[in-house]
Amino acid sequence: MAVSTCVALGACACGPEKSEESTSTTAKPSRSSGSVRPEEPSASPRTEKPSAEPPGDQSAPRTKEGAIQRYEQYLHAVGREDINTVCEVAGPAAKQAEDQGFGPCTSTFVVTFQMISPAQKKALRTATVDPQRVDVLTPAKVEIPAEAIKASVTFSDSELGSSTLEYQKSNWYITD
């Protein structure tokens, strides 16, 4: 099955509200409590890999470079199966899809992870975006086509698709 379908399903099924709830109920207690080891599994029904990147609630520059950095964070998170980061970055698109009947990102994107091959996941962990191929639609909206993604595995438009990122609440989010 195409990765674009998977990524679209996952991006359309997560929301920042769900991501924040998951973070506040699973990740924050392990950070604030000295008695809980960071490697200990959370109460969540699936095993989550911790994000190696800064949390999404930090502000990002409202520039093309800021959007690219945020999208690369998302791609790397997909490759690591980091559900919290994936759902955080894809929040607005995911909320829209959830409102249309899809489940929350934290449960629906798990299917996406299973559809991406190990070689593709590995490639996504270090993927970059070619700034020359990114379309700036407005100062707060960019389009990143699949051909802008540089990775050890080539992703076609039918596999990965394009993503629209918009600057909202001091950060870039996938909105389509």
At 7-46, the pLDDT tens digits run: 444 433 343 333 333 333 333 333 333 333 333 333 333 3
User: Diameter of the chain by CA atoms?
Assistant: 49
Tokens read off for 133: 């191929």
At 37-48, the pLDDT tens digits run: 333 333 333 333
Q: What span, in angstroms and rounded, lies between the C-alpha atoms of 83 and 158?
A: 23
pLDDT at 77 over 60: yes
Tokens read off for 140: 């707060």
Percentage of the chain beyond pLDDT 70 is 67
Q: What span, in angstroms and rounded, lies between the C-alpha atoms of 90 and 7?
A: 10
The residues spanned by each domain of the chain are 3-23+59-174
What's the CA angle centered on 99, arms 96 and 91, to 5 degrees? 40
**What's the average model confidence in pLDDT over 144-162?**
89
Given this model, what pLDDT does residue 57 score?
53
SS3 for 94?
A: helix
- Residue count of the chain, please give it: 176
Distances (CA, A) of 123 to 92, 99, 119, 153, 172: 26, 32, 6, 6, 23
